[in-house]
Structure 1
Amino acid sequence: MSKLRLDNKKVIVTGGADGIGKAICKVFADEGAKVIVADINQNLGKETVDQINQNNPNASKYIQTDISSKSSIQALMEQSLNFLGGLDIVVNNAVAFVFGKVEDVTKEDWEKVFNTNLIGAANLSASALPHLKLSSTPAIVNIASVGGFKASPGFIPYQASKAALIQLTKGLALDLSEYGIRVNCVCPGSIYTSATDRHIKFEGSDKESHLKNVAKSNLIRRIGTPEEVAYAALFLASDEASFITGTQIVVDGGLTIH
């Protein structure tokens, strides 16, 4: 029997109740990790944990978390440590979207997106630091986006926050290297999640047309799946990536070279 890639690793995944985050939680648990599903959506969070624990008993726990709140992050850390008994890996995946033209985006929209996508990731990483220092194989994986370096209409706050998250990844990799903590990010392209449906609504198009346009935009000729992003995150979190830090894996079907 082959060795599990995250055997007995202790993990926190933010935004873990749906989409890419849910796929990460499931894949990590299947590879032997004990996983905290941190998410603001209680119903989806509990549903995800139930699904994980069916295949991997007592492998996960849901903790309701507002990643934009420092007090919520502190509560997350305390409850996570009680369940996990330590910490090896943090996956910063929680995300906020605002669709619209720049003239329609409010100050509150900007704050919501940056407080979740960037500042929340920075605050959780800082809060996790004392515990990651105690791990023999500590890692942080940030879920950024190709939107961090490729512009698309109607996504300005999201794209700006993801560009900053990519740079945060590099800065953290430098600052935390003295503790042996690796920091990397995954940059997904077009991945089918619940956010895709919201984007289709914003565009005023239909699902079939949208998916056809996505297929034309990349070299694989289809939209990606959350699991395909999860396996990239799995690699970066695992010991297989022990000589990789401060960089990103692009999972976009060739979108950014096409």
Structure 2
Amino acid sequence: MIELADKVAIVTGGSRGIGSAISTELAKSGVKVVVNYHSDVESAKKVVAEVKAAGGEAIAVQADVSNSEDVLSLIEQTINHFGQLDILVNNAGITKDKTFRKLSQDDWHQVINVNLNSVYNTISSALPHLLESDAGRIINISSIIGQTGGFGQTNYSAAKAGLIGYTKSLALELARKQVTVNAVCPGFIETEMVQEMPDKVREQIIASVPVQRLGQANEIARSVLFLCRDGEYITGQQLNINGGLYM
């Protein structure tokens, strides 16, 4: 088990949903958290306030992770403020769901840029600092859709599947450096996106899940905490948290 007190983590897309849950869960274990956000500054400030109220330490940093210059600034601000970086959680993501015949080039490129290219940006900038840590952790939030595919989600499933392959290859490269690289693949989680679905669609999804319920964001967050704290001998893996929907 790694002692996480005073370790420093960046959580991209850390202001809402799963990202917010990951930020607060890590902070409970003493991790100093950089809550990255793209545009929702109020949500980011709320997460920081919750962390501080619980006795933790956090800052909010705006950056479009699909933009390499923004990412450089994100890493620089992290190092300037906390002096180190030990954990990188690549959680930022968007959806633009359409059947392929209706999918525009812009729909394709936006999803690939935010969900996949951003991970190249963050890791390439963060890696020199992670290599200096005695507990270097990279955790990429993929999706069950990257494993099974999804109707109207060719762009999203391509990005999330690519993230799984990226995770395995990078894990091979960094294993000797004692930096672990893993993917967490959530199933259907009760976030704003799922809550906005029509009731009938949501009911159909729940009926298809063997445990007969949606997942909770804090269940994903606890898996990230596990990989950070107890995952010294776990690398290149997909941690599937989906209620048995994909086995």
Q: Does 1:232 align with 2:219?
A: no
User: 1:185-226 deviations in whole A, cap 9, x for unaligned?
Assistant: 10000001122145x2xxxxx23x233212211111000010
Match of 2:242 in 1: 252
- Higher mean C-alpha displacement, 16-25 vs 115-124: 115-124
Match of 1:183 in 2: 181
Counterpart pick for 1:159 among 146, 157, 160:
157
- 1:4–1:31 contact (8 Å) kept in structure 2: no
Distance in structure 2 (CA, Å) of the matches to 1:5 and 1:148: 32
Q: Across the two proteins, how many residue pairs are aligned to each other?
A: 246
- 1:94–1:117 contact (8 Å) kept in structure 2: yes
Distance in structure 2 (CA, Å) of the matches to 1:4 and 1:247: 19
**Offset at 1:182?**
0.5
Q: Does 1:45 align with 2:27?
A: no
Code of the aligned partner of 1:158: Y
Q: Does 1:60 align with 2:58?
A: yes
**Offset at 1:51?**
1.5
Distance in structure 1 (CA, Å) of the matches to 2:86 and 2:9: 6
- Higher mean C-alpha displacement, 40-49 vs 128-137: 40-49
Distance in structure 2 (CA, Å) of the matches to 1:104 and 1:48: 37
Distance in structure 2 (CA, Å) of the matches to 1:25 and 1:5: 17
Distance in structure 1 (CA, Å) of the matches to 2:208 and 2:125: 39
Distance in structure 1 (CA, Å) of the matches to 2:176 and 2:231: 17
Q: Does 1:218 align with 2:189?
A: no
- 2:24–2:51 contact (8 Å) kept in structure 1: yes
**Offset at 1:44?**
1.4
Match of 1:129 in 2: 127
TM-score between both structures, scaled by the size of structure 1: 0.92
Code of the aligned partner of 1:235: F
Distance in structure 1 (CA, Å) of the matches to 2:225 and 2:96: 28
Q: Does 1:106 align with 2:96?
A: no
Gap regions ≥5 residues in structure 1: 201-205
- SS of 1:43's partner is helix
Code of the aligned partner of 1:55: A
**Offset at 1:5?**
5.5
User: 1:228-251 deviations in whole A, cap 9, x for unaligned?
Assistant: 11111111112x111000011000
- SS of 2:77's partner is helix
Distance in structure 2 (CA, Å) of the matches to 1:229 and 1:56: 22
Distance in structure 1 (CA, Å) of the matches to 2:190 and 2:98: 20
- 1:148–1:161 contact (8 Å) kept in structure 2: yes
Match of 2:18 in 1: 20
- 1:173–1:183 contact (8 Å) kept in structure 2: yes
- SS of 1:256's partner is coil
- 1:4–1:32 contact (8 Å) kept in structure 2: no
- 2:2–2:135 contact (8 Å) kept in structure 1: no
Gap regions ≥5 residues in structure 2: none
- 2:194–2:202 contact (8 Å) kept in structure 1: no
- SS of 1:67's partner is coil
User: 1:40-81 deviations in whole A, cap 9, x for unaligned?
Assistant: 021211121112111124x10000010000010000001011
TM-score between both structures, scaled by the size of structure 2: 0.96
User: 1:15-39 deviations in whole A, cap 9, x for unaligned?
Assistant: 1000000000000000110000001
Distance in structure 2 (CA, Å) of the matches to 1:211 and 1:103: 25
CA RMSD, 1 decimal? 1.4
Distance in structure 2 (CA, Å) of the matches to 1:29 and 1:210: 35
